[in-house]
Amino acid sequence: MKIRLIGLTASLALALSASVQAQDDDFVVQRTDYGQPDLEGVWNFSSFIPMERPAFFGDKQFLTDEEIAALAAQTEAGLQAINNIGVGGYNTFWTEMGGDKDNRTSLITYPLNGRLPETVEGVPIQVGGLGPDEPGVRPTRMVVGGIAKDGPEDRGISERCIVGFNSGPPFTPNLYNNNVQIIQHRDTVVIMTEMIHDARIVSLDKGEHIDEDIRQWTGDSRGYWDGDTLVVETRNFNDLTQSFSVYGSAKDKFLTERFTRVDEFTVNYEFTIDDPSTFRDKIVAMVPMAKVDGLMYEYACHEGNYGMMNTLRGARMEEQRAAEGGQ
């Protein structure tokens, strides 16, 4: 991990200055041997712009340069404060913070207030986090944290190295490992995320989705070209992941992703979530992805899964000590 970050730091310095951009009229997109827009390479989707617009911004959609600098400094200060806690899990060495030219107050573009729409009554909520376990029942859909330590099924799906906490789909900027590699062929696109090194193989043959009864962790994706934009539609998620953020189940989620090369260093990544079982309206967000001049290395999660074994073993030791102390 350390080698990877050092190797990418220099190249990210320029690339992360890219922002959400309109199509440059003077930009001529390069094309593959198959005549398709060239999206190949490694792209970084980190951003310090929040997914939802903070309430104190009200209806304000855009920031001034001074406000952007202040927000970036505030975010950096918060990350630096982590360094003072101690060894812990992470410090600023691991974190990525791109998007310093993005002047929006939220990555969400719809609803227009920049916030998630209302949820359907009774939708389950699992927040998770690095603190104490939260009360709950299986299935554990949260990505980090857990409801207990009786077995691996009590832990979040990212802790179990099944689905990453930022790789979705859709991609959502987070602390680190915000890289994705796109590999193109005439009839296929491979979208490989750094987090949990998961590869989605997207067919472009306009074929039908798999049977409704077949459910997968990252769904079933089919793609096509809409002009110079790659459109990927994904359904058939299982009910063991959340629909979006901390809400619901992904079982009825329909995800549309749009990848558009807008200049030499930027792909605009837009996603739309339609999930009437969880949200009362759709969600649309735009995340700029910056070109990385480097390789993407394997992310091995906790290699050999000994982290999970030690988590459960530690819980058994705590139980044993409590029992012995009570005798």
For the stretch 175-193, pLDDT in tens is: 889 999 999 999 999 999 9
Q: Give residue-wise pLDDT tens across range 208-252.
A: 999 999 999 999 999 999 999 999 999 999 999 999 999 999 999
Alpha-carbon torsion (268, 14, 105, 52), positive or negative: positive
Residue 167 has pLDDT above 90, yes or no: yes
Which residues of 123-277 form beta strands (DSSP E)?
179-184, 188-193, 199-203, 220-226, 229-235, 254-263, 266-274
Torsion from C-alpha of 143, 202, 182, 4, nearest 10 degrees: 40
SS3 content of the chain, % helix, strand, coil (to 5): 20, 25, 55
Surface-to-core class of residue 151, CB atoms within 10 Å of its CB (0-12 exposed, 13-18 middle, 19+ buried): exposed
Distance CA 226, CA 206 (A): 12
Long-range contacts formed by 11-16: CB under 8 A, 24+ apart: 11/292, 11/293, 11/294, 12/44, 12/96, 12/98, 12/290, 12/292, 14/265, 15/44, 15/98, 15/265, 15/290, 15/291, 15/292, 15/293, 16/44, 16/46, 16/96, 16/97, 16/98, 16/99, 16/100, 16/290
Q: Which residues of 286-311 are buried (b: 16+ CB within 10 A; e: fewer)?
A: bbbbbbbebebeebebeeeeeebeeb
Residue 288, classed as helix, strand or coil, is strand
Q: Which helix (H) or strand (E) holds 43?
A: strand 41-44
Question: For the residues 74-102, what does the mean pLDDT come to?
Answer: 72
Q: Give residue-wise pLDDT tens across range 6-55.
A: 333 333 333 333 345 566 678 999 999 999 999 999 999 999 899 999 99
Instruction: Please give the model's pTM, rounded to 2 decimal places.
Output: 0.89
Q: How confident is the model at residue 89 (pLDDT cuts 50, 70, 90)?
A: low
Residue 320 has pLDDT above 50, yes or no: yes
